Structure 1
């Protein structure tokens, strides 16, 4: 099981030899509500299985896994620098977990569209109004949204579309892996490009594309955790297929991950 204790400070991951350091890595807080009539949410179990698989020999895996909702879990436990919106490409935050975020960040004016409007400003500026699935943009929260009415202390929203418009993504082999990788790149680049500010260290998020997207829990969890595992590995000076094939095989394995039989 993933620990619920406070994470260690950010560290640089490197092998000290031929690889380049990946830079500071974030700690991810995964939350998922408990469905009625079920002992435990399948995604909760799947996350913990994936963490046990890919971080077997890691003393402090960079994950906290919690069962519950944004509004019902202790805000102090969920304190973070950034929340993730598993958005659509146009930043319209009115469905699923995006709806939860829009209600949480209405601001003093009680404006349901305040968060959507802020996100869309950055999507327009950085991506010409369309953020392709699998891409990510970091959106700073304005003072009126990140102020005292924000018990989670979040300062940013990461727009991370898993789909162009709300629809099933079950056909896509590895959209969750792409998204999780892009999220980490966006965080790394933000921290590097804004050395004067406090870095993004704690990231709060739910499952990616498991609602409208219909991605199975095991596939989602495996790709979310595996992308973090791969991102923490040193970037080699010169990549060749011999180094790429094992990683590719691990990604392909998550596509057919089965809860009862392991890797197919």
Structure 2
């Protein structure tokens, strides 16, 4: 499941909070937030970069994400450093390119993750749950985000 939040990896609001809740057996996003923060480089990922964070199965066997989706990875793909209106602050063409680039990077990272499994072991990522990138706090119109994301796919 793609978490399109901010660079700091906090899951305190919007879609990220719900992602944290479905990955936690206790429905507490703070439990999952700790795994995200531990998985980030010194607690920060620049917008446009992607990090796949696998949560140990023993930690989420009773979570909704694992029970219903067999999901054990969160794909952290920050769309912004902190909450901003992406179109207003960056401009329409830059926001479109940013969403395209992030989508492309998500697909590239998942492909590399799956190719490395013969070395590391583990479960392949077969399905990606990809929400509208930048459409929440980023205020990118749904149509613009969907066109940009589809162009990358």
Q: Which has the higher strand share?
A: 1
> Following superposition of structure 1 onto structure 2, how do residues 29-178 of structure 1 map, counting pairs within 5 Å?
83-108=1-26, 111-123=28-40, 127-149=41-63, 150=66, 151-170=68-87, 171-172=90-91, 173=94, 174-178=97-101
The CA distance in 2 between the partners of 1:99 and 1:111, in whole Å, is 9
TM-score (norm 1): 0.51
Q: How big is the shift at 1:146?
A: 3.2
Q: Which has the higher helix share?
A: 2
Whether 1:225 and 2:139 are equivalent positions in the alignment is: no
The CA distance in 2 between the partners of 1:144 and 1:163, in whole Å, is 32
Q: Would the aligned equivalents of 1:105 and 1:145 in 2 still touch at CA under 8 Å?
A: no
Deviations 1:72-94 (A, max 9, x none): xxxxxxxxxxx110110000011
Match among 177, 185, 204 for residue 129 of structure 2: 204
Which runs of 5 or more residues in structure 2 are unaligned? Answer: none
Which runs of 5 or more residues in structure 1 are unaligned? Answer: 1-82, 229-264
Question: What is the Cα-based RMSD across aligned positions, in Å?
Answer: 1.6
The CA distance in 2 between the partners of 1:115 and 1:96, in whole Å, is 15
Q: Would the aligned equivalents of 1:146 and 1:153 in 2 still touch at CA under 8 Å?
A: no
Q: Would the aligned equivalents of 2:100 and 2:152 in 1 still touch at CA under 8 Å?
A: yes
SS in 1 for 2:43: coil
Number of aligned residue pairs: 142
Q: Would the aligned equivalents of 2:19 and 2:29 in 1 still touch at CA under 8 Å?
A: no
